[in-house]
Chain A
Amino acid sequence: METNETRKTLLEVKDLRTYFKTDAGVVKAVDGISFKLSQGETLGIVGESGSGKSVTNLSIMRLIQSPPGKIVGGEILFEGDDILKVPESELRSIRGNKISMIFQDPMTSLNPFLKISTQMVETILLHQDMSKKEALKKSIDMLKLVGIPAAEERIHSYPHQFSGGMRQRVMIAMALSCEAKILIADEPTTALDVTIQAQILELIQELAQKLDTAVILITHDLGVVAGLCDTVCVMYAGKIVEKANTDELYARPSHPYTDGLIKSVPRLDKAQNGKLFSIEGQPPNVIDLPPCCPFHPRCSRKMEICTKQYPPVVDLGKGHEVACWLYAENKENSTDE
């Protein structure tokens, strides 16, 4: 949106690379991605499973399991400081306080052995100067805010006594209890019933606006992105293949992959002879990938060069960036490189 330029940049990811060492070889789960997030903005990251969306965000929190994972390069600037370089103690004051996270599976993300109250109060006590009593009150308020009925009593329950949707609400309440500046929501609705999904997404949107929190929403569902996000990054095989603001992306999907994704969303208004569009094939194994566009085997507009070299990022204007040989100007020259 236009306001992007005027608002302060909160988070800037520059050329982030996160690799995993496995028996079969090095998995380049995230391989050189960059994006910016401004205050109050909602950024969507879209891609198939295994495209590196979650790894990107775990990298931002430095939560990659090591070994086997390792952030091998790049910078993550949060309020000007590189998160990758701050000491552990300082990192802890960022985690859960300034950047918090909601995970995909609410069934396993809450500690089954601790009461909800314990889990919420400890977070607040950790980051805010409050007494236990105040913290408990704040927790109850947060639970009310996310729409948990009879929060005063239910806060003393164990997670297994809640339904999936309710647990995700608890997660959101917990994540926002310290008024974080950035909320990372890693496929927050994938594990939930369809009817609950919309509620949860609305809740996130509503609270983000209320608390002026920037949101990174990770999803594989373009429909979700359309409704919620200001900007969208499309990831494929560890790289961002297209980045644009939402309206622009839908109006002018430039990468063949984005195009395919948008076409494959089932739409009632554009039902074409009853058949859904699908992209043939599967995403590649990202181990030891040769230099080429990783999408070329599935691409309908493949060219010779696509099999030899990774395409450069081309700016199509208005912050619309795409990595595809279709838009590169000097194809011939770059082959010589």
Chain B
Amino acid sequence: MTKYVIRRLLGIIPTLLVIITISFFIVRVAPGGPFDGERALPEVIKKNIEAKYHFDDPLVVQYGRYMFDVLRGDLGPSYRYKDHDVNFYIFQSLPNSMILGVIAISISIIFGISSGMLAAVKQNTWVDYLGMAFAIIGISVPLFVIGPILQYIFAMRLGWFPTSGWITGDNGWITVILPAVTLSASNFGTIARLTRSSMLETLRSDYIRTAKAKGMRSSVILFKHAMKGAMLPIVSYLGPAFAGIITGSVVVEQVFRVPGLGKFFVQSSFNRDYTLIVGVVIVYSVILVFMNFIVDIVYSLLDPRITYK
């Protein structure tokens, strides 16, 4: 087991290296920024820029320096904001995004699994149809539609929630609810449908028939015999789910004005603040890669058939 974990951890390294490399070259070839792309800038300007950002060094040296800096945890200076470097802005906004993401993924897992199970057990009843209707809404309706509509109905019309703001503001934790629900919608839908179908399949399987033939209660069959097997596809979906949460948070933070990483990301991509964009992407990627790693470990713990070779 320990060996397996170590091997998986080592496997993360190339992915991270690729991410940093891609990031470096994207910044390097980016036209229009302070970097010279396809167009020939007059000498004067070129010299200024090169002196400022060390672009007179050979490419390999630059790449090496960049890699070294990133691995050391230094994401460089921001091209837009002169006061602080990229690290400062990221550490300022990351906690907010984390809170939002963790709550959203918890909502989608808890509600997704329970409504999926309910739908599977009550297959072809109104419970099933209702649950699946919600699921398909979550899957089909983009969150930038769900978000504003929830905002419109629950914040503006009904006044149950503040329209925007964040925990750190006056309104407290209630501000998390709408953005988190919006962000959880699509994963909720997918998890509910996955749970339902995988539960139905498990309930049709031979070993469940055996359990029934042994005279087990249906509740015992459901939770003791079927649950574990039915959860495997959901666990393996969690990787993409995290990715979805990250991408989704970009929009949700925009709609609900959450001072998180995603909002920063959009802003900086409008400002063409390349080091900040790339810094955010690296942070996101590291989170994602580690989440995938954890998901893999959980999976291998759940399924006794997996051997750690």
Does the CB pair A113–B303 fall under 8 Å? Answer: yes
Stretch at the interface among B1-9, B69-77, B83-91, B209-217: B209-217
B-side contacts of A94, CB under 8 Å: 215
Given A108-B206, A158-B304, A92-B211 contact (CB < 8 Å): no
A119-176, CB < 8 A from B: 122-123, 126-127, 158, 160, 171, 174
B-side contacts of A122, CB under 8 Å: 214, 216, 220, 224
- The smallest C-beta distance from B215 to any residue of chain A, in angstroms, reads 4
A-side contacts of B207, CB under 8 Å: 108-112
Q: CB within 8 Å of B: which residues of A?
A: 61, 63, 65, 67, 91-97, 100-101, 103, 105, 108-114, 122-123, 126-127, 158, 160, 171, 174
B-side contacts of A126, CB under 8 Å: 214-216
Residue of B nearest to A92 (CB): B215
- The smallest C-beta distance from B160 to any residue of chain A, in angstroms, reads 42
Q: By DSSP majority rule, is chain B's interface helix, strand, loop, or mixed?
A: helix
Given A92-B217, A122-B216, A109-B210 contact (CB < 8 Å): yes
Q: What total of A-B pairs shows CB separation below 8 Å?
A: 74
Given A109-B207, A112-B229, A114-B225, A96-B304 contact (CB < 8 Å): no
Does the CB pair B225–A93 fall under 8 Å? Answer: no
Top 6 A-B residue pairs of the complex, sorted by shortest distance between their CB atoms: A96-B214, A95-B215, A96-B215, A108-B206, A113-B228, A92-B215
Of A95, A96, A100, A160, the contact of B305 (CB 8 Å cutoff): A160
Does the CB pair B304–A110 fall under 8 Å? Answer: no
Residue of A nearest to B220 (CB): A122
Assess whether B204 is interfacial by the CB under 8 Å rule: yes
- Per-residue interface assignment for chain B, residues 43 to 63, with 1 indicating a CB less than 8 Å from any chain A CB and 0 otherwise: 000000000000000000000
Number of interface residues of B (CB under 8 A): 23
- The smallest C-beta distance from B100 to any residue of chain A, in angstroms, reads 34
Does the CB pair A100–B304 fall under 8 Å? Answer: no
- Per-residue interface assignment for chain B, residues 205 to 240, with 1 indicating a CB less than 8 Å from any chain A CB and 0 otherwise: 111011111111100100011001100000000000
Does the CB pair B214–A113 fall under 8 Å? Answer: no
B-side contacts of A127, CB under 8 Å: 215
Does the CB pair A92–B303 fall under 8 Å? Answer: no
Residue of B nearest to A99 (CB): B213
- Per-residue interface assignment for chain B, residues 272 to 306, with 1 indicating a CB less than 8 Å from any chain A CB and 0 otherwise: 00000000000000000000000000000011110
- The smallest C-beta distance from A19 to any residue of chain B, in angstroms, reads 19
Does the CB pair B304–A112 fall under 8 Å? Answer: yes
B-side contacts of A110, CB under 8 Å: 207, 210
Does the CB pair A123–B214 fall under 8 Å? Answer: yes
Among B215, B228, B303, residue most surrounded by chain A Cβ atoms (within 10 Å):
B215
Docked pose: A103 CA to B207 CA in angstroms: 10
Does the CB pair A100–B214 fall under 8 Å? Answer: yes
Does the CB pair B211–A111 fall under 8 Å? Answer: yes
Does the CB pair B304–A95 fall under 8 Å? Answer: no
